[in-house]
Amino acid sequence: MRIGFIGLGSMGAGMAGNLVKAGHDVTVWNRSPDAAAPLAEQGAAVADTAVKAVANVEVLHSMLANDAAVREVLLDSGVLDALPKGAVHVNHATISVALARELVAAHADRGLGYVAAPVFGRPAVAAAGGLNIVAAGSPEALATVSPLLALLGQKVWPMGDDPVRANIVKIGGNFLIGAAIESMAEASALTRAHGVSAKDFLEVMGGSLFASPIYTIYGGLIAEEKYSPAGFKMSLGFKDIGLARAAAEAERVPMPFASVMHDTLLEALGAGDGDLDWAGMARVAAARARLDDAKR
């Protein structure tokens, strides 16, 4: 299949690589050209503009960082206008509900298929083809891209024919991940203040009451204070909690804990920690409790 792939960050590079390995004719583009070099070595074609990356494709995958990047690359630069009629666009980005609705209309106006397929997983999982993918779109569009999604994920979770449904599931899921991290951060600050290390505490929790990937993965990062290199940056976490708050306000849904996480992440960004993994919320909790203060 002729595939375009736009956005080769920490997640997109591994995803595009899996499509290349499966033998598809993949053309890639990234705003930072150096990111495309490893894909070229694997056999992908590299376009020098986003529009050229989609000129003759049957399916376009995009994995962009935020609303602004999606709007700039897909709408303002003319990518959707350049896609052949009948092509299907698979959008893996975590975006706002408002932009999600705009994109549904934009694709329909151009005679394009559209599937929202945000993913859960970290970069190593993406490279291994082990993502969980939440997908929504018309049955025809989903049928076209399902074999490709199967190469990218261990499981595809169908959410119906309205792409916006997949986006709100992703927003809600990232809120839950952030809430777990914030809870571990505060609880481990509490135990540290009473002489029990974060490692000892989180090993108990991750091996008993909270034996799940989120608690074991992020609990391990907190226990080791391993926040760099980031699998998911604080700055992206701040963006996603903002998406949850905006979606909640639109439907008058109170989410008090989203405000707590907003403040924690804003504090981290203010301290210059935006590029650290968002497990680093534990640093904020420890600093608030003055656990690393030499006088304590």
232 Cβ contact partners less than 8 Å away, ≥ 6 residues apart = 122, 277, 278
Mean pLDDT confidence for 40-65: 97
Percentage of the chain with pLDDT > 90? 98
Model confidence over 81-132: pLDDT tens digits?
999 999 999 999 999 999 999 999 999 999 999 999 999 999 999 999 999 9
Model confidence over 9-52: pLDDT tens digits?
999 999 999 999 999 999 999 999 999 999 999 999 999 999 99
Mean pLDDT confidence for 160-178: 98
Mean residue pLDDT of the chain comes to 97
198 — pLDDT class (breaks 50, 70, 90): very high
d(CA 56, CA 84) in angstroms, rounded, equals 7
CA terminus-to-terminus distance, the chain: 62
Mean pLDDT confidence for 68-76: 96
pLDDT attached to residue 295: 42
Mean pLDDT confidence for 192-207: 97
Q: Is 254 exposed, middle or buried (0-12, 13-18, 19+ CB in 10 A)?
A: exposed
Choosing from 170, 199, 226, 295, the catalytic residue is 170
Mean pLDDT confidence for 185-214: 97
pLDDT attached to residue 292: 80
166 has pLDDT over 50: yes
pLDDT attached to residue 270: 98
Mean pLDDT confidence for 68-73: 96
294 has pLDDT over 90: no
User: Taken in order 260, 263, 266, 267, is the CA torsion positive or negative?
Assistant: negative
Is 52 tagged catalytic? no
Closest by CA to 181, choosing from 216, 207, 209, is 216
pLDDT attached to residue 1: 97
296 — pLDDT class (breaks 50, 70, 90): very low
Mean pLDDT confidence for 210-234: 97
Contact 59, 87 (CB under 8 A): yes
What's the pTM? Answer: 0.95
182 has pLDDT over 70: yes
Mean pLDDT confidence for 66-87: 96
129 Cβ contact partners less than 8 Å away, ≥ 6 residues apart = 18, 151, 152, 153, 154
d(CA 281, CA 183) in angstroms, rounded, equals 10
